[in-house]
Chains A and B, each alone.
Chain A
Amino acid sequence: MAPERLFTVEELSVHYNKVTALDRVSFGVDRGDFIALIGVNGSGKTTLARSILGLLRYQKGRIVWHEDVEIGCVAQHTGVEDRNFPATVEEVVASGVRKSKPLPKWLNRHDKTHIRRMMEYFDIDAIAKKRIGALSGGQYQRALLARSMVMQPDVLILDEPINSLDQGSQKNFLDLLKQLNQEQDLTILMITHDVAGVEPYATRILYLETDLLFDGTFDEFCETQTLSPYIHTHPRRYGRGCS
C-alpha cells in the first residue's frame, strides 16, 4: 500500500532582504515518516520549519496540505529564557489545547482529563505543580512535547530539541519520539546536528544548504558524504555512524 502523503513542499523560496534563506526546496512528507533535517548553521533549517508551521511568509513556492493535518512543534530550548517565568508544568502543558473553540474559552472537564493523561504518558504528572523554570533539560523538553501532544497532532516539528541535553536525556527523548512515531503513527520532522545520534531513529535524512542537497535514507546519505565539505569537517558528528 502506498504511504499516505500528508504535505508537499513545492519550490519553496524564502529571502530575508537580499539574502536567500531557502532556494526552491521541494520534498514530500508521508504519514509515519521520521525525518532528520540537517545542515550547517544558516542553511535554512529553522526557516523551513517555520514556513511549514505557518509562522513565516515565503515569497515563492507553496506548501500543499493533502488532508486536514494537525501540526505541533517543540522549539529550540537554550535552558535560560524561561527560568523565571512563573508557570507550572501543568499550566504549560494545558496551553497545548487548541484555542479555536467557541466561548467560553476556558478548559472544560474533557480538556483537563486529556491534559492529565498526557502528563501521565510523558511521566511528568509527579512534577505537574513544579515551576517550569525549575525543571532539568530533559524534563523541560518532555513537558514541551506533552504540550504539543495535547493537540493530538499528525505531524510534529522539532527544532534541535536535544541540543542542551546530556547523553542519557538525549537517548530517553529520542526513544520517546520513536515510541510516538511507531505507536501513534506520529510523523516527525526533527532539526538536528547529530546525524549519527538519530541514525537508529530517523527513517529519512534531508540535507539542506539553502537548497535541498539530499533526501534519502541514512545508508544512502553515508554513501554520498562528498556532497558537502561540512561533513568532512565534522567527522565525529556526521561520519561516526557511517563507518
Chain B
Amino acid sequence: MSNLEQLLRAFEYGYMWRALLVGVSVSISSATIGSFLVLKKYAMIGHGLSHVAFAAVAIGLVLNQAPLLFSLPLVVLSSIIILKLNHTARLQGDASIALMAAFALALGTVLVSTSGGFNVDVYSYLFGSILTIRQTDVYFAIGFSVAVVAFLLVYFTQLFSMTFDEDFARITDVKVSRLNMVLAILTGVTVVVGIQAIGTLLISALIIFPIIIAMQFNRSFKGTVGIATVVSIASVVSGLLISFVIDFPSGSTIVLLNSLVFFIIYSLRTILGVR
C-alpha cells in the first residue's frame, strides 16, 4: 500500500478523527495563549506544567484511576502557584518554573518506579498516543478552545497592552493581576487537554514553537498571533497524519515538524539578510 493510500485510510478510523479534532482544538488554544506567554517571557511555563502533568499522570497510575482526573486540578493549581511565586517570593519567573518542574519530575519518576516502571501506559502519556482519546475528550477540547477564542476576542486589546507594557496597562485600568490569573488557568487546561495527542513532555513545544515561527515574519501583533495559529494547526494536522503513516509517536512527529519549519524559516531569514 502506498503512503498516499495509507494517508487516505487514516480518515476511515474514528480514533483518527478524534485525534484530529482534539489536535486542532489544542493547537488553537496553545498557539494563541502561547503567543502571550512567550512575549511576556513566560515561555517555559508550559514546560514546567508538562512536568507537573507527568507527576499527576503517575499519581493516577499508582492509584489505578484515570490519570487525567488528577492532571486538570493539579496542573491548573501549579500554574497559579508559579504565577504567585513569581510575584510574591522574590523569584524570577523561570526560577519558580524550574523549581516546580524539577520537583514534579522527581515525584513522577518515584511514583512510576513504584508502580512497575515505565510501561506502555506511561510512554503513551509521555509522548502522546491518539488511541487513548475518547469522545468526551473531543467535546471537552472543542468546548475549551471555543472558550479560549471567545476570551481572547473580548480581551485582546487588554492582553496586548499588558503583554507589551504591564505598568502602562495598569495605568489604563487593565486588571493585570486578574488577566494573568486567567492566562495561568487557561495554560494549565491547555497542557492537560494536549496530553493525549501530544504527550506531557512535548506539549510545551506547541506553546512555544508557533509564536516563535510566526515572529520570523515581522508582522503586526494580530498578524503574528494569526500566523502562529495557522502554523500550529498545520503542524498538528500534518504531524498526526504523518505519524499514522510511518507509525511514529504523534507528539514527537508534531514537534519535529515544528522544529524543521523553524529551522528552514530562520535559515532563510539569515541567508536573505532579513532583519
Q: Note all chain A residues with C-beta closer than 8 A to B153.
A: 106
Q: Which of A84, A92, A96, A151 contacts B215 (CB 8 A)?
A: A84
Q: Which residue of A lies closest to B223 (CB)?
A: A86
For the complex, count residues of A whose C-beta is within 8 A of B.
Answer: 35
Q: Kindly supply a per-residue 1/0 record for chain B positions 79-103, scoring 1 wherever the CB is within 8 Å of any chain A CB and 0 otherwise.
A: 0000000000000000000000000
Q: Note all chain B residues with C-beta closer than 8 A to A94.
A: 157
Q: Which residue of A lies closest to B166 (CB)?
A: A55
Q: Note all chain B residues with C-beta closer than 8 A to A88.
A: 220-221
Contact call B220/A97, Cβ cutoff below 8 A: no
Supposing A86-B224, A105-B154 touch, asked if A75 and B165 sit within 8 A by C-beta, the answer is yes
Q: Note all chain A residues with C-beta closer than 8 A to B215.
A: 84, 86
Contact call B160/A91, Cβ cutoff below 8 A: yes
Contact call A86/B218, Cβ cutoff below 8 A: yes
Q: Note all chain A residues with C-beta closer than 8 A to B167.
A: 50, 53, 55, 73, 75
Q: Does B169 contact A (CB under 8 A)?
A: yes
Contact call A91/B221, Cβ cutoff below 8 A: yes
Q: Which residue of B lies closest to A106 (CB)?
A: B157
Contacts between chains A and B (CB distance < 8 A), count: 82
How far apart are the CA atoms of A97 and B220 in the complex, in Å? 18
Contact call A87/B174, Cβ cutoff below 8 A: no
Q: Does A147 contact B (CB under 8 A)?
A: yes
Contact call A95/B154, Cβ cutoff below 8 A: no
How far apart are the CA atoms of A98 and B223 in the complex, in Å? 23
Q: Does B155 contact A (CB under 8 A)?
A: yes
Contact call B168/A91, Cβ cutoff below 8 A: no
Contact call B172/A91, Cβ cutoff below 8 A: no
Q: Which residue of A lies closest to B39 (CB)?
A: A85
Contact call B158/A96, Cβ cutoff below 8 A: no
Contact call B171/A54, Cβ cutoff below 8 A: yes
Contact call B161/A95, Cβ cutoff below 8 A: yes
How far apart are the CA atoms of A99 and B171 in the complex, in Å? 9
Supposing A84-B215, A85-B39, A87-B221 touch, asked if A73 and B168 sit within 8 A by C-beta, the answer is yes
State the main secondary structure of chain A at its contact with B. loop
Kindly provide the distance from the CB of A189 to the nearest chain B CB, expressed in whole angstroms.
Answer: 14
Supposing A99-B161, A105-B155 touch, asked if A151 and B172 sit within 8 A by C-beta, the answer is yes
- Contact residues, B131-176 vs A (CB, 8 A): 153-158, 160-161, 164-165, 167-174
Q: Does B269 contact A (CB under 8 A)?
A: no
Contact call A86/B173, Cβ cutoff below 8 A: no
Contact call A75/B39, Cβ cutoff below 8 A: no
Q: Which of A75, A82, A97, A129 contacts B172 (CB 8 A)?
A: A97
How far apart are the CA atoms of A87 and B39 in the complex, in Å? 11
Q: Does B9 contact A (CB under 8 A)?
A: no
Contact call B157/A97, Cβ cutoff below 8 A: yes
Q: Note all chain A residues with C-beta closer than 8 A to B223.
A: 86
Kindly provide the distance from the CB of A142 to the nearest chain B CB, expressed in whole angstroms.
Answer: 16
Q: Kindly supply a per-residue 1/0 record for chain A positions 85-115, scoring 1 wherever the CB is within 8 Å of any chain B CB and 0 otherwise.
A: 1111011101111111001111100000000
Q: Kindly supply a per-residue 1/0 record for chain A positions 137-176, scoring 1 wherever the CB is within 8 Å of any chain B CB and 0 otherwise.
A: 0000000000110010000000000000000000000000
Contact call A105/B172, Cβ cutoff below 8 A: no
Q: Which residue of A lies closest to B161 (CB)?
A: A95
How far apart are the CA atoms of A91 and B214 in the complex, in Å? 17
Kindly provide the distance from the CB of A70 to the nearest chain B CB, expressed in whole angstroms.
Answer: 10
Contact call A98/B220, Cβ cutoff below 8 A: no
Q: List 8 A-B contacts (CB under 8 A).
A: A53-B167, A71-B171, A86-B223, A87-B221, A98-B172, A99-B158, A105-B155, A131-B218
Which residues of A come within 8 Å of B, CB atoms?
50, 53-55, 71-73, 75, 82, 84-88, 90-92, 94-100, 103-107, 129, 131, 134, 147-148, 151
Given contacts A105-B157, A148-B168, 4 further A-B contacts (CB under 8 A): A54-B171, A75-B165, A86-B218, A86-B221
* Among all A-B residue pairs, the 7 with the closest Cβ atoms: A100-B173, A86-B224, A95-B161, A87-B221, A88-B220, A99-B174, A99-B173
